[in-house]
Amino acid sequence: IVLTGLPVSGTLVNGPFPVDVEIHDKDTGLPVAPDAPLQVTLDLASGGGMLAGTLSQPVATSAASFPGLSYDTPDSAQIRATSSQSAPAVSAPIAFEVDIQASPTSLGSILPGAAIGPVTFTLYDGLGAPYPVAGMLSWTLIDQNTLATYRSGSEDFAGTAMATVSLLPINDEAPY
């Protein structure tokens, strides 16, 4: 069994992704149709989350696809394909991530002495639902003209899907 077509990074938590398997001849290493259908089952070789979707199916030709799988934790995981008639195959690590969005999305030009914010950062999963986490948001305010860091800090998500950054007044004008 050989795993193909796997994402390596950029796969969103709870978002759909496919896994393809191929049956290869043990001597030539080339794809080959089995004499009788093989039951191939997918599970986790590593990772702290849950793999969901259709995780077992017969493979009658040299290849099969497991579309619409999902994984529920932002971490790295490896998928294993097994069959009673073949050695197992383990994928390279796949990085599962959450999407972060800021509101407002642009701060525009800031007048001297004006306050920026608040800016709320929200984490979303692959289904577009808010994804609560326990962790910190590290942020940096960068001058777009000089690319210099103007301010930076961190905010606690505190088990929610949102962290809000409220900045002190800025004393000069630049696009940030």
pLDDT, one tens digit per residue, over 89-114 is 999 999 999 998 887 655 656 666 66
- In angstroms and rounded to an integer, the radius of gyration of the C-alpha atoms of the chain is 23
Rounded to two decimals, what is the model's pTM?
0.78
Beta-carbon neighbour count of residue 43 at 10 Å?
12
Q: Are the CB atoms for 142 and 176 separated by under 8 Å?
A: yes
Name the phi and psi angles at 170, rounded to 5. Answer: -100, 135
Confidence of residue 83 (pLDDT cuts 50, 70, 90): very high
Tokens of residue 14, six digits = 């709870």
Name the phi and psi angles at 57, rounded to 5. Answer: -160, 155
pLDDT greater at residue 153 or residue 12? 12
Cα 32 from chain centre: 33
Tell me, what's the pLDDT at 84?
Answer: 86
